Amino acid sequence: MSDKPRKFKGGVHPNDSKALSATKPIQVAPLLDKYKVIMHQNIGAPPELLVKKGDLVKKGDLLAKAGGFVSVPLHAPTSGTVSAIDKCPGPTGIGVPAIEITADGEDAWGAALEPMADWPNRAPADLKQRVWDAGIVGMGGAGFPAHVKLSPPEGKKIDTLILNGAECEPYLTADHRLMLEQAEEVVLGAAILARILGLDTAVIGVEDNKPDAIARLKEVAGKYNVTVQGLPVNYPQGAEKQLIYAITGREVPVGKLPMDVHCVVQNVASAVAVAEAVIKGWPSIERITTVTGKPVVNPGNWRLRIGTPISKALELAGGITMQPSKLLLGGPMMGIAQKSLDVTVMKNTSGILLIASDEVSLYTSEPCIRCGRCVEVCPMSILPATISQAVENKRFDWAEELNVMACIECGSCSYVCPSHRPLNQHFKRGKIEIQAQLRKKK
């Protein structure tokens, strides 16, 4: 591992717009009357429902158990009554199963997980089980079950643990504030994750546009033999494969995972969730979310419980000063546009972003002019323009040959395209069609 990070191929430098919320300390959201908890909040199998309408629950009680190894349990965000089990708008625009909790106002904990203050003496298997029992997922956006990443197959030895504190997505500052305000928990979580993997150390990667966070982490990192690595500001620096290359110089081959180059990557927010689950016995029922954008009265960072409607989060931020042109969950590069304010916060909701009408142009997609800009900025060295044309012509076999599955959907190609082609959307569609064909063959 080098002291000087490596620069990955490609990337772009959009205006980061982080000044809106970067200096705003984390605020704790007040208790709501109701929470609508979306059931399926992880990549993999959905959890299996354990409650029914009318049941009384305490804060932290199980609402659903893991539906398999690649699945995590779901816990109640507060104490109260299960007032409904129905559907609510999901982040992808379709209705999804959800559990409505009507709060009793007491916010009383149930039989919480047993604290493990003596974690250095606990078996790694017990610590990993705690991560699973707490329902922790990748909180940087993917929602991949954390315990699965901590379970390398036999023969794949892990020698490097990386915590992702890059937060390269424009506008988002939740991880930045977390690293500043809970640096001890970030480092402690890194140490616990390292113990689970049988490692003595870990490295936290942070983009250089967060010097205060880097300095704060370095103040406490030595306590647990953790190092902090500043990284060049280059989107998508926080993508797993780019982060691994920057810190270790190792390239993850197409179709392979970080484990194949002996690395595990976890988000800094996930590390804090691990520390809280182990030391305090808290399951994953809340997260830090950035609520921001030009139309927002008071952009900032809030500790929101899962099941909090977007509408309530915007109320906490003072409402809006103008009608936004677009509402996104996440940032402007990889975020998902929303059509309803009734979508609720999930474990991987890193940001709620409103885009003003004067910041968005209604582009009309035009034919590719073969300028090559998309190829220059693609961090995965694929051919975005050609793949896009393959998808447009429903040649999904051709798109697969051109390695569309290697696309990390960072949006860099769409960002630089002078013809305003919906390249990222084409790649998403191509992947869905290819996966559907594979399932059909099976």
What is the domain-level CATH number for residue 289?
3.40.50.11540
Q: What is the pLDDT of residue 161?
A: 98
pLDDT given for residue 329 in this prediction = 96
Please tell me whether residues 381 and 355 are part of one structural domain: no
**Residue 425 within a domain:** yes
Question: Is 97 inside any structural domain?
Answer: no
From first to last of its 442 residues, what are the pLDDT tens digits of the chain? 556 888 999 999 999 999 999 999 999 999 999 999 999 999 999 999 999 999 999 999 999 999 999 999 999 999 999 999 999 999 988 999 999 999 999 999 998 799 999 999 999 999 999 999 999 999 987 789 999 999 999 889 999 999 999 999 999 999 999 999 999 999 999 999 999 999 999 999 999 999 999 999 999 999 999 999 999 999 999 999 999 999 999 999 988 999 999 999 999 999 999 999 999 999 999 999 999 999 999 999 999 999 999 999 999 999 999 999 999 999 999 999 999 999 999 999 999 999 998 887 666 789 999 999 999 999 999 999 999 999 999 999 999 999 999 999 999 999 999 999 999 999 999 999 999 998 888 7
d(CA 273, CA 431): 31
The closest alpha carbon to 330, from 190, 404, 255, 236, belongs to: 236
Q: Are residues 433 and 311 in the same domain?
A: no
51, 127 in Cβ contact below 8 A? Answer: no
Q: Do 340 and 419 belong to one domain?
A: no
Tell me how far apart the terminal alpha carbons of the chain are, to the nearest angstrom.
42
How far does Cα 275 stand from its chain's mean position?
Answer: 18
Q: Is residue 48 part of a domain?
A: no
Q: Which of 303, 335, 360 is the last residue of a domain?
A: 360
The answer to whether residues 173 and 300 belong to one domain is yes
133 and 277 inside one domain = yes
Please tell me the distance from the alpha carbon of residue 272 to that of residue 359, in angstroms, as a whole number: 34
Evaluate whether residue 54 is within a structural domain.
no
Number of domains in the chain: 2
Is residue 161 located within the same domain as residue 261?
yes
Specify the residue for token string 């180059």.
Answer: 261
Angle at 49 between CA 43 and CA 52, to 5 degrees: 150
Please indicate, yes or no, if residue 22 is contained in any of the structural domains. yes
Residues 293 and 349 in one domain: yes
Residues 426 and 325 in one domain: no
Q: Which domain holds residue 274?
A: 1-30+107-360
Token pair belonging to 176: 């930045």
Q: What is the pLDDT of residue 235?
A: 97
Domain assignment present for 316: yes
Task: Let me know whether 195 and 261 are in one domain.
Answer: yes
pLDDT of 362 reads 64
Could you tell me if 246 and 159 lie in one domain?
yes
CA-to-CA distance for 168 and 240, rounded, in angstroms? 12
Q: Examine the fold and report which residue of 313, 335, 360 is the final residue of a domain before the chain moves on.
A: 360
In a domain, 422, yes or no: yes
Shared-domain flag, residues 21 and 142:
yes
Whole-number Å distance between alpha carbons of 324 and 93:
18
Contact call for residues 4 and 277 (beta carbons, < 8 A): no
Give the CA dihedral 349, 351, 356, 359, nearest 10 degrees.
-110
User: 84 lies in a domain?
Assistant: no
Are residues 207 and 135 both part of a single domain?
yes
Domain end position, chosen among 360, 384, 410 = 360
